[in-house]
Structures are given as C-alpha cells and as structure tokens.
Structure 1
Amino acid sequence: MTTLVWAGGLLRAEDEPIVRAGDHGWTVGDGVFETIEVVNGRAFALRRHLRRLAYSAARMGMPEIDQETVREAVGEVLGAATGLTRLRITVSSGPGPMSSARGSGPHTVVVTANDAPPLTECKAVRVPWRRNERSPLAGVKSTSYAENAVMMDFARSRGADEALLANTHGHLCEGTASNVLIERGGEIVTPPLASGCLPGIIRGLALEWGAEAGIPIRAAAAGELEMSVLDEVVRGESYAAVTSSTRRVQPLAALDGTPLETGPLLSELRRVFVSCAALDLDPAPRHSK
C-alpha cells in the first residue's frame, strides 16, 4: 500500500518521526481530524470537510487553523502520486505541558494519503455502550477516539466491521465511523444532530441530494428513532444503511449476524448519490440539520 505523509511544510518518508513527545495530540488526544475520499486525484467535498475541521477546532477551544496551509498540504500530497483513494487531515493543539492544560502551540498539522481499497460492504453489531450527547465532544471530529476503538474491537470480535450505538436516552445515534439511515414507513430518516451524532459530510449530502431528487428523506425528530428500530431491521420490516467518507451510502449487509436485504429507497438514494457526486466533487457547504 502506498502511503504519503506531509508534515512541517514538507513531504516526508512514511516512517520519519514527525511529532514531538510532548505534543498534546499524542499525550491527551487534543486534536481534530478529517478523513476524505479521493476521486481522480481530488479530495471529495473538501470545502465541507475544511468547514467541519474548523468547527471541531472551535468547539474544542483550539486556536483557529490556518486553512490555506492545510489546502496547500492537501495539494502537495495529492500531486505526489496517482491512484490515491483516501486522505486524512490531522491537526493537534501542538506541544503542551504534562497535564490536561493546553500549551501555546503552534498547531501540529499532518496530512496523509493512501491507496486503500474501498469498503465494499458493512456488517454491523449493536454495542452495549452509549454516546453521551451532552459531552463537550459530542458532534466533534476529535482525535480522542479511544471510545470508538473499544467499540470497533468489540465489533470485530463478532465478525463485524462497524458498531452501532444509542445515546444516553436510548435513541439511535450513530456508528463509530458512520451515520445511520433507516428506511421505514415509505421514507428514509436519520438521527438528528441533537442525538449527539457527528454532522457527517456524506449524511448531509444524502439529505440534500436525496430531497432534491424527490426521495422522501429527513432528519428524525428528537426521540423519534428508538434503538429498538434496529429490531425492525433485523426482522426485515425496515432497512438500514450507513454513510461515511469511506463508504458513501452503504446499505447494511448484516446486523448482529443476521443477513439483511436492501430497501428500495436506500437503493435509489445510493444511485442518486453516485450520480450527483460524479457531477460535483466539491459541493458548496450548506447549513447542517
């Protein structure tokens, strides 16, 4: 697998040391990141990803990120090789003391890319843990990702590659690296941002492009989607899909070990998404919901 690394203004060797031992991104997970699909040498929906990167940093109280530096780094990495499929931007608060208190920076900015193959299907399981929708990190794409790592380990031990979880109210929230879509009652609904889920880039585009194509799709009302809706999915009464930058719109192939069928609306949404994405690789940002 080809892996490219940019840090400190330069392209680096994959195994070259680039982060100081006292960097708060390393010691306490004080940073933000974005994972982006690469299509024909371009970062898909880059403007939306950069806006969310800035939002996450602001929510964490980090100083403003130099967007031009990030854009230049992305351009250098994508211009250095062909066949790349995935790009990641990571920004930490930089060097800090041996405590939770943040230092004075500057930011550590690292951009990496590789040619990993696409994820062709999703097998998910429900996990016993819950997302805290009142956490200061709720809805933030933070490098403090240990909770998700634990849940993914749980999923993989059960033959799955994604974990779905509720929030503290028992409402369906999200996956560890994805948002969730549910097809039921002749429409597609997705947990609202108030559930504590991440404001996913692909989630937002699916809502916009789906609605523009005449597909009945919306963000659910608060509390509308109980975690028990997944029981309907297992019984074949409803259908489910996940959305992410590495999956786009991907119907669940299995849930808790039960093979699943794909709903007709989710199939149409997937088709619409592919068509729209081919026409616009960097759709302008809109208001999230």
Structure 2
Amino acid sequence: MYRLDGTEWTAFEPSVDTMADRGFLLGDGVFETFRIENGRIRNDELHASALSESCTALDLTMPDWATVTAAIGAHADSGNRVGKLIVTRGPAPRGLTPVAEPRPQAFLQLSERPEPPAQVRLASVPIRRSATSLAARYKTLSYADNLAARRLAVAAGADMALITADDGRLSGGDSANLFWLAGDTVQTPSLSCGARNGVMRQRVLAWLEARNVDVEEVEAAPTALLSADAVWMTNAVAGVMPVVTIDGRALEHDHPLLAELMAADL
C-alpha cells in the first residue's frame, strides 16, 4: 500500500497511528476502485470525476489526480491490476464532532485483478437501500450494508445480493449496477432507486446510445427481471457479468446484444 505525502507516494504499512484516523474509526472517507492496464487507469476521466463527486459529497479534499496517475505509472507493473484509492478525513479526536482542521489522508492499494466471473447468481436479501443515503450514492467507507448483503447471498448459494430500495423497487447488486433487456429496450434502475451511477454503468449507457439501442432508467419491481430477455450486472473491475439465476430461478442470458456488449470489453 502507498500513502500520499505531499506530492509523493511512499510505501506505507498500517500501524497503531492508523487507529486515530477517522476513516478507520468511523468510516469517514470514500474510495474509488479501478482497473489498471500497462500502468494506466482504464476509463481514467470517469473515475476521477466519480472520486471528485464522492469527496465533494463528504466535504473531503480530493487528491491531485495527476499524482495518482503518476504513482500508478511508477508502481504498477504492466500486468492486469486493480487499484483502490482511499481518501479519509485523517487523524482526529474521538467522537462525531466535526474536525476543525482536518488532515486528509490518501492511500493507494494495488493488487492483482481476479478472473472476472463468467456468470453471476443473484439472491434477494432483506437489506434495503435509501436513495437519500450517502452510502448508497457514493463509495463511502461505510460498507456494512453491502457486506451483510453479500454474506446473506452467499449463504443462500448465490454469488451476489440483489438489493431493492426502501419501497421494493429494484436498485442493483451489492457491488454492481443492474441492467436487463425487455424486448428491444435496455432498462436499468433509476438513480432515484438508490442506484449508484457507477463508471461501468456510464460506459454501458454510452455504448448503447452509440448503437441507437433504446434505454430507459426505470422504477421497476423485481418481477421485471423474470420476463427479461437478458439480465446483467456491471462494475469497473469485473466488467459485464451475465446473470443466470435469481433466487435459484433460471434466466435467459444467451442474447446477441449481451454477447456483443461483453466482447466490447468496456
């Protein structure tokens, strides 16, 4: 792991000092995860914009993006890697009192990219997502709901949780955005359903628009997925992942549009 010291990224080993950081104590921070190829961030500008929006929402200082890309170029080898950039409020006294003079910290973790799943099994979970929650709209360090949802999904024999909004509308996965094909139209949950506007979500929407495919951002019930011609999840690390079952029920997933989208390797 690396830590930003001024304008230099230096090797960092967590220590007892880390325990004074608001990110560790309270989850007071945000993160952005991205793929790295040949020392460069895929979809670089979209990730920079996403992190900036998250920092703004939590009143955090955005690290200089040029130093981030320079550090990745210097430390990431030419292989297929995953980068995770974490921004915290920094060390502060205990409690919830706002920090008068924050000392924000930035950390960069580099790791091997796991093999993307060829398919995904979803399980419905009772955890709900609120559109007004910062943890739903941004990648905050407060990931308790997502982790609990994944545990429940795995316990049910699935790979990922299917999460709905407070009123039961489809929202997305525990770590991915949701899409499905209904006839000639691709549908995805509206951001009003607590869906995060992920980088891969943006890339897929742009790809579909460029091919004149009708797209709708909708407020839909989970039953909409059962009659879909194809269902898939997306995130920046895994890309496009076909959904083959929901709660053990098999779904259609062999569709030319989905195959073309996966081949595009966005």
Q: TM-score, normalised to structure 1's length?
A: 0.82
Q: For 1:72, what is the secondary structure of its paired residue?
A: helix
Q: Which residue does the alignment assign to 1:282?
A: none
- Take 1:102 and 1:164, find their aligned partners in 2: how far apart are those partners? 35
Q: Which of 218, 223, 226 does residue 221 from structure 2 map onto? A: 226
What displacement does 1:32 show? 0.7
Counterpart residue identity of residue 100, structure 1: L
Q: For 2:137, what is the secondary structure of its paired residue?
A: coil
Q: Give % identity.
A: 27
Q: Which residue does the alignment assign to 1:112?
A: 109
- Take 1:194 and 1:243, find their aligned partners in 2: how far apart are those partners? 18
Query: Conserved in 2, the CA contact under 8 Å of 1:6 and 1:77?
Result: no
Q: Which of 73, 87, 90 does residue 83 from structure 2 map onto? A: 87
- Take 2:152 and 2:164, find their aligned partners in 1: how far apart are those partners? 15
Counterpart residue identity of residue 11, structure 2: R
- Take 1:38 and 1:19, find their aligned partners in 2: how far apart are those partners? 30
Counterpart residue identity of residue 46, structure 1: D
The worse-fitting range, judged by mean Cα deviation, of 246-255 and 62-71 is: 62-71
Counterpart residue identity of residue 113, structure 2: A
Listed as ranges, the matches of 1:1-289 within 5 Å are 5-8=1-4, 9-12=8-11, 17=15, 20-78=18-76, 81-103=77-99, 104-120=101-117, 121-220=119-218, 223=219, 225-230=220-225, 232-233=226-227, 237-262=228-253, 263-271=255-263, 273-274=264-265, 277=266
Unaligned runs of at least 5 residues, structure 1: 278-289
Q: TM-score, normalised to structure 2's length?
A: 0.89
Say which structure is richer in strand. 2
CA RMSD of aligned residues (A): 2.1
- Take 1:148 and 1:62, find their aligned partners in 2: how far apart are those partners? 22
- Take 1:19 and 1:161, find their aligned partners in 2: how far apart are those partners? 36
Query: Conserved in 1, the CA contact under 8 Å of 2:39 and 2:72?
Result: no
**Structure of higher RCO (CA pairs closer than 8 Å, 6+ residues apart):** 1
- Take 2:120 and 2:72, find their aligned partners in 1: how far apart are those partners? 28
Query: Conserved in 2, the CA contact under 8 Å of 1:171 and 1:227?
Result: yes
- Take 1:218 and 1:72, find their aligned partners in 2: how far apart are those partners? 38
- Take 1:63 and 1:36, find their aligned partners in 2: how far apart are those partners? 20
Counterpart residue identity of residue 2, structure 2: W
